[in-house]
Structure formats: structure tokens, C-alpha cells
Structure 1
Amino acid sequence: MQLNKRQQAAMERLLAETLTEACETAKAEIVGFSWLSHAVDYAAFPASLAVVWVFVSQADKNRALAAGEGARMIELTAQALGEADIQLDPLAAHVFFDSEEQCRRINGGDWAQRLAPLRPGRG
């Protein structure tokens, strides 16, 4: 789906709105979850869309995933993207889990650098 600049801006606002709702729900439900973000290359949209769920620590992330919370976060992602009329199959290939701790350790806290390679099909 090729989007012009105006459509890209509208999609970005819609993604921010729907993903913010998912984030707030997860904060209330999932211990150690902190925030989420997304990365996208609109030249390859929607295939390049990646949603990243970020925990405070690696231990929080590991604990949540071991408890099956990853499925809940994928479900929340599906709801958010559905509200934005975006279908991705398989959705799980576009959902990533990370931690602030790992970003500081590996990327010096630079989330732009850390998120860049997470876009599916982009390396």
C-alpha cells in the first residue's frame, strides 16, 4: 500500500492513538511493562511495521514472557492495529519485546538505533 505524505501523517497519528490505548491497558495489567513504540518504513508499509513492547528490566521481560504475557501483548497489538485497519499475517513476526536495560547496555540508550533493524524485512 503506497501512502502519500498526508496519508503517512494520518496513519502515524492513528497508530500513535491506538497503540497508546494498548500501552495503557498493558501498564495496568502487566508487571514490569513500561512503554511501547513502533517503527515503520512507509515505502514498505505495512510489511515494515514493527511494534516493540518495552520492559524496565530484562528480568521483568523474561518473567512476563514466561508467564504467557507475550500472548496478551500480541492480542493488544492486534486490537490496536485492527482499529487502524491494518492487517499483518503473521502478526507475531511484527511484535518484539525488549527492555530499557538492554538498550542502555547495548545501544547506550539510543532507541532510534535499537529500533531500526527491528523492522521486518529490513535487516
Structure 2
Amino acid sequence: MNKTTTKLENNLIKALTLACEEFKRWDMGFDWLTHTVSHNRFPDSLVVTCVFLSKAQMQQVLSDSLDARMRKEIQTRLLKAGIRPKDIRRNVRMDNEEDCAAQDSGNWAARLERFRG
């Protein structure tokens, strides 16, 4: 990675870490988040995956429209870091540990690669 890409990645990680810590305070079954990105197609290729402990918890977040609130929080953090996604709905997805275990034998690397932007 060149200096510009390294700085961008560091800013991205800082912004997402702040969002992650905020989500953990919401007490909704959120567990962790991660991202994938192709820096030569940034920010369009950015995919942030928010992971919940169970499918039921994820479904509850979706039915309560908390996913929209989560996307807004991520977007706000990214904007503060100078990162401007075109459509945050395309950049953030929800997932859960149960589906990863059932569909990908718990292999998050393989699962994230399938949903890569």
C-alpha cells in the first residue's frame, strides 16, 4: 500500500471502530463489524458488514428499522473521516453468526469474499 492508501485505510478503521463501539452500547445483539474494500474502486467498493450474535437479533434490528440508524451512524463517522460514500445503503450490510455457521461453516473470510463490493 502506498502512503495515501495507508492513510485512507487508517481513517476508515478509526471511523468504523467508533461506530462499532457505539453499536455495542445499543444492547441489540450487535457483536462486531468489519469491512472489505478495493482501494482502486474506493469508495464504491466499500462493504461494511455488521455482525449480530443471532439471526433473530438481526431480524429484530431490521424489523425495528435500527439498520437505518446504524447506516446513518456509519455514514456520519465516515464523513467526519473525509470518506463520502455515494449510497450508504449499498455500503453496509447486516449479517449474523448463525447464518455464517450454517452457510459457510463459520468461515467468515469466505463469507465476506462472497459479498465483496
SS at match of 1:54: strand
Q: Any residues of structure 2 matched to 1:1-123 within 5 Å, and which?
A: 5-120=2-117
CA RMSD of aligned residues (A): 1.3
SS at match of 1:85: coil
**1:7-38 residue CA offsets vs partner (Å, 9 max, x unmatched):** 22211111111111101111111411111111
5+ residue gaps, structure 1, are none
How far 1:98 moved relative to its partner? Answer: 0.1
**1:29-63 residue CA offsets vs partner (Å, 9 max, x unmatched):** 14111111110011211110011111001011001
5+ residue gaps, structure 2, are none
Aligned residues: 117
One-letter amino acid of the structure 2 residue matched with residue 63 of structure 1: Q
TM-score (norm 2): 0.92
How far 1:105 moved relative to its partner? Answer: 1.3
Q: Is the 1:30–1:64 Cα contact (8 Å) retained in structure 2?
A: no
